[in-house]
Amino acid sequence: MSFELVVPLTLSSSRYLLPLYSFTPLPLYPPTMKLLRILLISLLILSASLCVASGAWAFCGFYVAKADARLYNQASQVAIARSGNKTVLTMANDYQGEVKDFAIVVPVPVVLKKEQVEVGKPTILERLDAFSAPRLVEYFDPDPCTPLVYERMMPAAPTMSAGARKDEAARSQNLGVTIEEKFTVGEYDILILSAKESGGLETWLRQNGYRIPQGARQLLRPYIRQQMKFFVAKVNLNEFEKSGYQNLRPIRMTYESPRFMLPIRLGMVNAQKEQDLIVYILSPEGQAEVTNYRTVKVPSGNEIPTFVKDEFKDFYKSMFQTSYDREGRNVAFLEYAWDMANCDPCSATPLNREELKEAGVFWLDNPETSPSSGRLIPRPFPIAPSSNVFITRLHIRYTRDKFPEDLMFQTTTNRELFQGRYVMRHPFTGDASCSAGKQYRRSLPRRFEQEAQTLARLTGWDIQTIRRKLPKIQAQALTWWEWVWFTLSPSSPLS
Amino acid sequence: MFRDARSYQMLFLCLFLVLGIATRDWTLHPGIILVAIATCLVTQWAALVVSSQFPILGSQFNPATQTIATPATPDSPTPSPPHPFPSLPSALITALGLSLLLRTDHCSTMMVAAIAAIASKFLLRFRGKHIFNPANFGIVAAIGLTHDAWVSPGQWGEGSWYILLFLATGGLVLQKVGRWDTTVTFLGSYACLEAVRNLWLGWTWDVWLHRLTSGSLLLFALFMITDPRTIPNARTSRILWAVAIALLTFILRNIFFLPTAVFWALFALAPLSILLDLLWEAPRFEWKARELRVES
């Protein structure tokens, strides 16, 4: 009732998820591909605010730094736009170190040519993040002595930040490593390698100045045997300076493959602890889910005390950790599933057509991919420059022991809407001297207690500490039967 | 306790449904479950009525098939009273199976699946035996004919205590029905194939274990592939058949990357049971209240 304020929890606006996700690469199976490349991908660099906090970096694959600094994967963001076997994969880059030391190795399903790799705009993953972030919604109780007259919603303005030499080739051949493609895109020098055996690939990478983490060799083998290729990128400093950007931009790959997966195994080689990965899957059909792990919704819709507004990021972090532990640490969490044409409440304006294309959506102009009729969902918000794009935001926190296998996905036709949404209701603080007003005031202590217990249950925080932060009400609390009557009464703000 | 193995099956499937809804994060609507049950029962009843008028359509009450079942177990001394519609429990099992496995947002889609499942039993027959597993046929029909049905292979998770539950309950039903050979062969050969792949690729063994402890795979192996009315009659045939399904599942999953490979494999190989029955003759399985396994 009354005002509704939406406080989005975005990756770029918070330290939560600082360890942004890290995971491995893109899979694809080489043969049996048709000729399709439409997809775009963009790899985003996390915002500078994130970069400050720790010396971590995350990506689909492992980092192979040329410097001896220890590099970890801690967090990554990936957007995957997929229709049929066509895929556009955008990897955000939150590398936090000297740009000259940046280097990555990512298994990819097919040989990528220059026109299949692009550098994306740094803002596109921030936009996806802002649109899909778990949100805190704020309501203000009306004056209990006055009939309700208006209802309004105020969307918060999110920060919308907006050929190798011959001898080299011969050496490569001896090691069983073939440079399939070599090109420069934006600030990245990119090689697409294929290899016959993991030892040769490891030697080649070391000889060429890439620092391979211990234990990588064993993990390279399964990808080689599955005929996957290796996308190897490092920064071309001249191009980087020319680009004028402060941070590395996202890398976007376009390919076609029946494989719909993200290899996380490689990314765990140089990870010390659990890593977070956020995957935005854009589909013309409906929700995406993980097929070889459970997909679980994050708790949502709970009413929590108003003081959480100032510590929403801590709240979400604790709540996520509690849910993660409760579910056995081996599930993928669904944080958002929505038609991208609208939102309710919006934590950011829906992406426009150009932004969707930048995020990799390649089917906007193709009427065949519009959602099937007969399963239309009511749209609380009109608008819609695009109604055939459905976004799924999955948050996966993984460790080596609980996630032995790479992540496999599927898109379904499930168009059920879901959002991680938390509600706080500000009590009416004006003078309410009518009898309904007195009763309203007496109802508040019990309501606050319920909110406190919900908060304690969700986050594992100490209930006494929470209670101390609750607003103090000078009124005798309602007895339980009065409470029941009050909550059922049509004039109750709770009804 | 129960004399009909189907009673156990119904009980366990209901238990899984309740557990799934209560403890797993399922997009499952009670209304759709009721639609599945109602549609299956009504379709079965209607088909029975019609087939009794036109015997060519079905042989549920064909005296010839009834006489094949010769009671012979020592623990069933007294004959049970004839059930007016002895195949209604089967329809209920089909409905529960569909509810457990098939996901949709719309009742109409579930009705399509349920009608297709039951109708397949009456229309797609060979020598009086239906060819396809009804629930499997319903799933494939719903996915193929509508655009809003899907299967969530990850819905049970992996490696939880559900595995023990599935193994225990499934084992009990299989012991009653006498079809444990199919499950063991399927799981064994599939595990071998995955082990070879794992070894060849060089993955650690926890990858292999993770793939095999999928709740959905076990549910399939223990409760769907073992339907005694649709699988081959002779043990040799069943073993060959289970190996074929494991092989096809393996291929579909690892070469064509189909997450729902098991269902497609069973669907594609169901007609093979006709051929196997011709090659290795054995009496058909009949659900009998007293006689769970017929070896006449």
Cβ distance of A221 and B202 shorter than 8 Å: yes
B244-279 b/e (C-beta count within 10 Å ≥ 16 → b) = bbbebbbebbbeebbbbbbbbbbbebbebbeebbee
| Residue in chain A nearest B24 by alpha carbon | A296
Q: Report pLDDT for A167.
A: 63
Whether residue A146 is predicted with pLDDT greater than 50 in this model: the reply is yes
Higher pLDDT, A282 or A237: A282
| B200/A225 Cβ within 8 A | yes
Is A202 in CB contact (< 8 Å) with chain B?
no
Quote the minimal CA–CA distance from A294 to chain B in Å: 5
Return the structure tokens found at B126: 């060979």
- B158 contacts A292? CB cut-off 8 A: yes
To the nearest whole Å, the CA of B57 is away from the closest chain A CA by 33
B156 touches chain A (CB under 8 A): yes
pLDDT of A250 above 60? yes
Best of B147, B200, B211, B216 to disrupt the A interface (most A CBs within 10 Å) is B147
Record the tokens describing residue A301, joined without a space: 């819709």
Report the chain B residue with the minimal C-alpha distance to residue A418. Answer: B27
Q: Is B154 on the interface with A (CB under 8 A)?
A: yes
Write out pLDDT tens, residues A174-210: 788 999 999 999 889 999 999 988 888 888 888 888 8
Give tens-digit pLDDT for A72-119: 345 688 999 999 999 999 988 667 677 777 888 889 999 999 999 999
The C-alpha angle B213, A31, A412, rounded to 5 degrees, equals 50
The predicted pLDDT at position A368 comes to: 52
Please tell me if residue B204 touches chain A, with a CB cutoff of 8 Å: yes
Q: Cβ contact (<8 Å) for B207 and A292?
A: no
Percent of chain A with pLDDT over 70: 72
| Residue A105 dihedral angles phi and psi, to the nearest 5° | -130, 120
Taking an 8 Å cut-off on Cβ atoms, the answer to whether B25 and A297 are in contact is yes
In whole angstroms, give the CA distance from residue A27 to residue A257: 8
Calculate the alpha carbon distances from A412 to A10, A281, A291 in Å: 26, 11, 11
- If one counts every other C-beta atom within 10 angstroms of the C-beta of residue A230, the result is 25
Within 8 A of B105 by CB-CB distance, chain A residues are 375, 413-416
* Residue position matching structure tokens 């440079």: A179
- By the CB < 8 Å criterion, does B147 face chain A? yes
Q: Which residues of A touch B209 (CB under 8 A)?
A: 404
Q: SS3 for B3-53, per residue?
A: CCHHHHHHHHHHHHHHHHHHHCCCCCCHHHHHHHHHHHHHHHHHHHHHHHH
Contact B152 A416 (CB under 8 A): no
Residues 6+ apart with CB under 8 A from A407: A23, A261, A262, A263, A264, A279, A290, A292, A293, A332, A396
Tell me how far apart the 2 most distant CA atoms of chain B are, in Å.
61
Higher local confidence (pLDDT), B185 or A435 = B185
| A33 interfaces chain B, CB cutoff of 8 Å | no
B207 touches A: beta carbon within 8 Å: yes
Report the amino acid identity of residue A278. I
* B257 neighbourhood in chain A, CB within 8 Å: 29, 258-260, 408
Token look-up 């070894």 returns B199
Give the single-character DSSP code of A182: E
Per-residue pLDDT averaged across B270-275, rounded? 88
Residues 340-379 of A with CB under 8 A from B: 372, 374-375
**Mean pLDDT score of chain B, rounded to an integer?**
81
CA gap A178, A157 in Å, rounded: 50
Chain A hits for B214, CB-CB cut-off 8 Å, are 292
The count of C-alpha atoms lying within 13 angstroms of the C-alpha of B35, restricted to the half-sphere facing its C-beta, is 19
CB contact under 8 A, B148 and A221: no
Does the distance separating the beta carbons of A291 and B152 come in below 8 Å? yes
Tell me the average pLDDT across B284-293: 53
Q: Which of A11-20, A195-204, A294-303, A380-389 has the lowest mean pLDDT?
A: A11-20
A405, B210: Cβ pair inside 8 Å?
yes
Closest CA–CA distance from residue B61 to any residue of chain A (Å): 39
Per-residue confidence at A377, pLDDT binned at 50, 70, 90? Answer: very low
Distances (CA, A) of A200 to A193, A205, A413: 12, 9, 44
State pLDDT tens for residues A115-139.
999 998 888 888 898 888 888 888 8
pLDDT band at residue B29 under the 50/70/90 scheme = confident
Q: Is A289 on the interface with B (CB under 8 A)?
A: yes
Q: B102 pLDDT band (50/70/90 cuts)?
A: very high
Which of B149, B157, B211 is facing A405, going by the closest CB pair?
A: B211
Give the pLDDT band (50/70/90) at residue B56.
Answer: low
- The reply to whether B201 touches chain A by the CB within 8 Å rule is yes
At residue A178, φ and ψ (nearest 5 deg) are -115, 130
Out of A191-195, A333-337, B230-234, least confident range: B230-234
pLDDT at B57: 53
| Residues of chain B positioned with their CB less than 8 A from the CB of A328 | 157, 160
Describe chain B by its helix, strand, coil percentages, rounded to 5.
65, 5, 30
Q: Rounded to a whole number, what is the distance in Å from the CA of B256 to chain A's nearest CA?
A: 7
- Are A61 and A206 a contacting pair, CB within 8 Å? no
Residue B158 in contact with partner chain A when CB distance is under 8 A: yes
- Residues of chain A contacting residue B108, judged by C-beta atoms under 8 Å apart: 374
d(CA A410, CA B152): 9
CA distance B46 to B88: 11
Is residue B197's pLDDT more than 50?
Answer: yes
Q: How much is the pLDDT for A43? A: 27
- Cα–Cα distance for residue pair A369/A283, rounded to 1 Å: 9
Chain B contacts of A334, Cβ < 8 Å? 25
- pLDDT given for residue B55 in this prediction: 63
Rg (C-alpha) for chain A, rounded Å, is 25
* pLDDT band with cut points at 50, 70 and 90 for residue A27: very low
- The span from the first CA to the last CA of chain A, in angstroms, equals 11
Which of A461-475, B30-44, B223-237, B281-295 has maximum average pLDDT? B30-44
- CA distances from residue B173 to A238, B37, B170, B222, B231 in whole angstroms, order as listed: 70, 21, 5, 9, 15
Of A168 and A331, the one with more pLDDT: A331
Supply φ then ψ for residue B243, to 5 degrees. Answer: -65, -40
Is B154–A290 a contact, with Cβ atoms under 8 angstroms apart?
yes
Q: What is the mean pLDDT of residues B173-202?
A: 90
The sign of the CA dihedral B191, B197, B199, B204 is negative
CB contact at 8 A, B283 and B294: yes
Strand A390-398 and strand A331-339: the pairing is: antiparallel
The secondary structure element, H or E, covering residue A149 is none
* Model confidence at A54: pLDDT above 80: no
Residue A84, SS3? coil
Which pLDDT tens digit goes with each residue over B143-179? 988 888 999 998 888 877 778 888 888 888 887 777 8
Total-model pTM: 0.82
d(CA B143, CA B120) in angstroms, rounded, equals 16
Is any Cβ of chain B less than 8 angstroms from the Cβ of A414?
Answer: yes
What distance in Å separates the CA atoms of residue A25 and residue A266, rounded to the nearest whole number? 8
Nearest to B139 by CA among B183, B172, B176, B109: B109
Instruction: Compute the average pLDDT of residues B11-18.
Output: 89
Distance between CA atoms of residues B31 and A225, nearest Å? 47
Q: What three-state secondary structure class fits B251? A: helix
- With an 8 Å Cβ cutoff, are A375 and B200 in contact? no
Assign A46 a pLDDT band (cuts: 50, 70, 90). Answer: very low
The listed range with the strongest mean pLDDT (A24-38, B33-47, B72-86, B280-294) is: B33-47
Report the pLDDT value the prediction gives residue A19, as an integer from 0 to 100.
Answer: 26
Contacts of A29 (CB under 8 A, 6+ apart): A109, A110, A226, A227, A257, A258, A259, B255, B257
Lowest-confidence pick of A17-21, A282-286, B26-30: A17-21
**Cα→Cα distances A18→A22, A274, A488, B26, Å:** 11, 12, 43, 30
